[in-house]
Amino acid sequence: MSLTTLLHMAGILWFVGNIPSNGHVRLIGVFALCKFWIIWVRVLFCFVYVSVLILRFFALDRVFNQNKPFRVKMTVICLCILVLVNVLYCLTGQLIKDELTVIGEEWMEVCDGTLEYRIACIVFQWILWVGVAVLIYRLRNIQSSFNEFRESLAIFVVAIITLTETTVTNIAFRYYPLMLGHRIEKTMMDTLCANIMVWLILGHPVYMCMFHRRKYETQWLEKLTKDGHKNAYEVSSGGGGGLTTAYAKMEDESAFQNTQLNFGTMDVMASAFYGGGQRSYYGGDLVADESGMRDPELFRNPDTLPIALRNNLHIHRPVLNMPPSMFAGGYPSDVQESGRRVL
């Protein structure tokens, strides 16, 4: 999910770079920094977007085709390498003189990239997408529970359509930022491309989780079991005959049931708080026994306190002389270590 988040953020910054680059704002003040907006925002994050996709597909290839682990450390290293390559590419464009890369035409209020620089950027994009194509081809035979070949193929088709449009627009229409229709079309194509790719990955899972959660979970667990990942994901038979995982089960059902707020336990709590006699909460004056209140074990024993008294909700009936902030400190340490959390 973290890579998909980075993908979405790169798409947003790619769109931000398109705003001044395609002439949607007046190039005054900070927007007059043409090299910054074109090279370090638009071009860089367009490349980073593709690089995150490459990393995502490479992770699947490494785990399921090469049978090698792909942990957080490996993810960070690969991402840093890809971003560094893109930064070095942009840094090269920054150091080359403006007449060969990007210049700002003040009299027209437009940022203009030279034809040579445009071709260089487009060629680099095509190279990145060729790498994506190779990885997608390698992912075609992954086991069904993790197979994203159809989604990946759809992403590649969208990318090729957008990249073809970019190539034609930048080469055939040299001054397209001066043409209202072309610059709107270019920005819309890039924006749609970035968002469609993200939702080709997220669309089906999000829809199923929102409207058919239980059915989707069952199908997923059946796929995991069929593909031999039952032990790795701790898939087991649920109480109703279905499948479940350790992530969806209580660590200790009996302990959970014993901590539910139960009005039948209030007399027991009254006995503990008021020194032993069975008292009723609904009649008579209640006088707290200070000796019982001073016993620290009373508040440290998770089997004694109902759940209402073990958090900051204050659902219990106020007791005479009990400070209202008695439980404001949260869970005692031994309760925190019990393994069960009820929020």
Same domain, 270 and 138: no
Reduced to 3 states (helix: H, G, I; strand: E, B; else coil), residue 196 is: helix
Question: In this structure, is residue 287 part of a structural domain?
Answer: yes
* CATH code of the domain in which 17 resides: 1.20.1070.10
Distance between CA atoms of 236 and 234, rounded to whole angstroms? 6
Same domain, 144 and 242: no
Question: In this structure, is residue 149 part of a structural domain?
Answer: yes
Question: In this structure, is residue 186 part of a structural domain?
Answer: yes
Same domain, 238 and 301: no
Question: In this structure, is residue 71 part of a structural domain?
Answer: yes
Same domain, 181 and 242: no
Question: In this structure, is residue 342 part of a structural domain?
Answer: no
Domain final position from 155, 183, 211: 211
Enclosing domain of residue 218: 214-247
Distance between CA atoms of 164 and 126, rounded to whole angstroms? 10
Checking if the pLDDT of 305 tops 90, the result is no
Same domain, 67 and 141: yes
Q: Which amino acid is at 272?
A: A
Question: In this structure, is residue 343 part of a structural domain?
Answer: no
Q: What is the pLDDT of residues 60-98, one digit of tens each?
A: 999 888 888 888 899 999 999 999 999 999 999 999 999
Same domain, 196 and 148: yes
Q: What is the pLDDT of residues 128-137, one digit of tens each?
A: 999 999 999 9
Question: In this structure, is residue 155 part of a structural domain?
Answer: yes
Q: What is the pLDDT of residues 9-57, one digit of tens each?
A: 999 999 999 999 998 988 888 888 999 999 999 999 999 999 999 999 9
Q: What is the pLDDT of residues 245-272, one digit of tens each?
A: 544 443 444 444 444 444 444 444 444 4
Q: What is the pLDDT of residues 171-190, one digit of tens each?
A: 998 888 888 889 999 999 99
Name the H helices within the chain: 2-21, 34-35, 44-60, 72-95, 115-138, 149-172, 180-211, 213-226, 253-258, 266-273, 290-293, 297-300, 333-336
Same domain, 223 and 293: no
Checking if the pLDDT of 337 tops 90, the result is no
Same domain, 75 and 204: yes
Question: In this structure, is residue 113 part of a structural domain?
Answer: yes
Q: How many domains does the chain have?
A: 3
Any idea what the Cα angle at residue 185 is, between residues 181 and 190, rounded to 5°? 155
